[in-house]
Structure 1
Amino acid sequence: MARVLKIEINGRPADVQDVHRVATWNYGHFTSMQVREGAVRGLDLHLQRLNRASQALFGEGATDDGDRIREFIRHALGEQRAASVRVTVVPQVGAPPLTDVMVSVSEPVSDAPQPALRVRTTTYERELPHLKHVATMGLTYHWLQAREAGFDDVLFVGRDGVLREGSVWNVAFWHEQQVVWPEAAVLPGITMQLLQTALTRIGVPWSSRRLTLDDLPTLRAAAATNSHCPSQPLAGIDETVFPGDGGALPDALNTAWAEVPWDLV
């Protein structure tokens, strides 16, 4: 885990009461991003995510002004030009829909993929899956169970048998010379959205469709995508081992990712 360098709330240093409240009141939402040279890929999508989630969790009167949050991020970064940044929005004590914005700045995380991961599936559906909320006990429990069983990570399957999302990532597959994403109730990851737009731009076909465990043997490769890495290869899921297809999937994802522009904070 990257070392935390600074935590601010509403543009000021967080004190012990702030940290205690956020740690013990499990209600809020967040977004995580990688900053390089003071810029972020998909910054507008991160800000839109925060605004939509605030309205969903705190009511229509709650909005997260993009300019205000950008200023909080800039202030927390200070002279730090490369970092991992998490923006967490929580309700003000006794004053919803007013919110507090906590910005955590950590050391930057490499976007280079790890060795291909072995993943197992489990039946689990996140609450409010379209939101990146702080209620993460369920997904963390299943991730730890997978690790204890000798796997690297976990992929969630709905009670309907449809493949959904990984613990903290979206999953992409390679099938018949195109990228395929599961069509299900999942978090629309910022990296996934940026990749889909970029894949279209570079002429690589992609689609979303309903996928089940029975489909896994027909797929040629799989990768996890999130803010840390756009193309983390998966060696296998449960008993299915992917042949890899010569790196076609990571090549497509990495080529698309290189086309995504950086936005100054």
Structure 2
Amino acid sequence: MSLAFLDGQPATADDLRALALANYGHFSSMQVRGRAVRGFDLHLQRLKAATRELFDQTLDEARIRSGIISALDAAGMDDAGVRVTVFSRAFDSLRPDRSVPVDVLASLSPAREAATTPAWVKTFAFQRPLPHVKHVGTFPLFQWRRQALRDGFDDALFVDARGRISEGSVWNIGFWDGEQVVWPQAEALRGTQEKLLQAGLAEVGVAQRHMPVEARALGGLKAAFAANATGVWPLSGIDDLALRPDPVLMERLRAALQAAPLRSL
């Protein structure tokens, strides 16, 4: 099931066609529980900043909230996966420099939690263009995930031209060296869940460090995990390196997320 609403009204085929054909815009995905979102302020910041960068427009927070609430009302849902996409039906690919009004599309899907099954991932040399923006150019993300699955892995993990680990297909990655959480330092989309984890771990006194992590030099790292809006899950291996999921670490990570309050829409 997937439902789409444009500024609170059911999206038409023409609305969706404009987005699909131009394929220019950005989005943020979140999990809504009881009409509240953990880290909602981070999603608002992301959507507003990307709208300024891609469209030179100001996006009002009230419009984002209203679009989500209207969509939930129309669908009769309190719990859902929500993707807010900002694009413009007036966008002209021949003159992308022109100032155009933006549209806010709220898409609803069933609520989802991260799987607890450990994932074994395969690395690919790839750098997302404009990595700090969660833009709609997702083709390579799913193509590399598809290739990973065809090769017998569970997902794709990206490394940059220098061999440094950056991010997963639609998730961020962190490591545990036995004493601290290590966040790989490279150009990547810094996810809302990653930021919540970092804040939560700091509150409970878990040491953290940001540093370059090379995919070919993981010997000193004892465990790894992935995180996105659905939650956190352990990694059981990267390429030919087996990793042992750490139950204690996973409990700490989940507790760190739970420490972040749910914010009403």
**TM-score range, shorter-chain basis?**
over 0.9
Q: What is the CA deviation profile of residues 199-245 of structure 1, one whole-angstrom value per residue up to 9, with x for unaligned ones?
A: 1111111111111023312111111100112x21110000111133x
Q: Distance in 1 between matches of 2:129 and 2:173?
A: 19
Q: What is the CA deviation profile of residues 51-108 of structure 1, one whole-angstrom value per residue up to 9, with x for unaligned ones?
A: 110111112xx11111111011100011311000000000231573310000001111
Q: What is the CA deviation profile of residues 169-210 of structure 1, one whole-angstrom value per residue up to 9, with x for unaligned ones?
A: 000110132111111111010000011011111111111111
The equivalent residue for 2:94 is none
Residues 7 and 67, structure 2, Cα contact 8 Å, conserved in 1: yes
Alignment RMSD (CA, Å): 1.2
Equivalent pairs counted in the alignment come to 257
Residues 18 and 89, structure 2, Cα contact 8 Å, conserved in 1: no
Residues 32 and 78, structure 2, Cα contact 8 Å, conserved in 1: yes
| Structure 1: unaligned runs, 5 residues or longer | none
Q: What is the CA deviation profile of residues 108-128 of structure 1, one whole-angstrom value per residue up to 9, with x for unaligned ones?
A: 1124x3311110101000010
Q: Distance in 1 between matches of 2:125 and 2:248?
A: 29
One-letter amino acid matched to 1:226: N
One-letter amino acid matched to 1:109: R
Percent of aligned pairs with the same residue? 41
Residues 34 and 85, structure 1, Cα contact 8 Å, conserved in 2: yes
The equivalent residue for 1:28 is 25
The equivalent residue for 1:102 is 105
Q: Distance in 2 between matches of 1:216 and 1:238?
A: 11
63, 71, 85: which one aligns with 2:66: 71
TM-score by length of 2: 0.94
One-letter amino acid matched to 1:108: A
Q: Distance in 1 between matches of 2:217 and 2:206?
A: 22
Q: Distance in 1 between matches of 2:138 and 2:14?
A: 22
81, 86, 93: which one aligns with 1:84: 81
Q: Distance in 2 between matches of 1:96 and 1:144?
A: 37
* Mapping of residues 6-17 of structure 1, within 5 Å: 6-17=3-14
One-letter amino acid matched to 1:38: R
Matched, 1:135 2:132: no
Residues 7 and 66, structure 2, Cα contact 8 Å, conserved in 1: no
The equivalent residue for 1:193 is 195
Tell me the secondary structure at the aligned position of residue 190 of structure 2. coil
The equivalent residue for 2:204 is 202
Tell me the secondary structure at the aligned position of residue 130 of structure 2. coil
Tell me the secondary structure at the aligned position of residue 109 of structure 1. coil
The equivalent residue for 1:234 is 235
Residues 183 and 208, structure 1, Cα contact 8 Å, conserved in 2: yes
| Structure 2: unaligned runs, 5 residues or longer | 92-97
- Which stretch has the larger CA shift, 176-185 or 33-42? 176-185
Q: Distance in 2 between matches of 1:205 and 1:11?
A: 43
Tell me the secondary structure at the aligned position of residue 215 of structure 1. coil
Matched, 1:250 2:250: yes
43, 47, 57: which one aligns with 2:44: 47
Residues 222 and 249, structure 1, Cα contact 8 Å, conserved in 2: no
Runs of 4+ in 1 over 3 A off after TM superposition: 94-97
Q: Distance in 1 between matches of 2:248 and 2:224?
A: 10
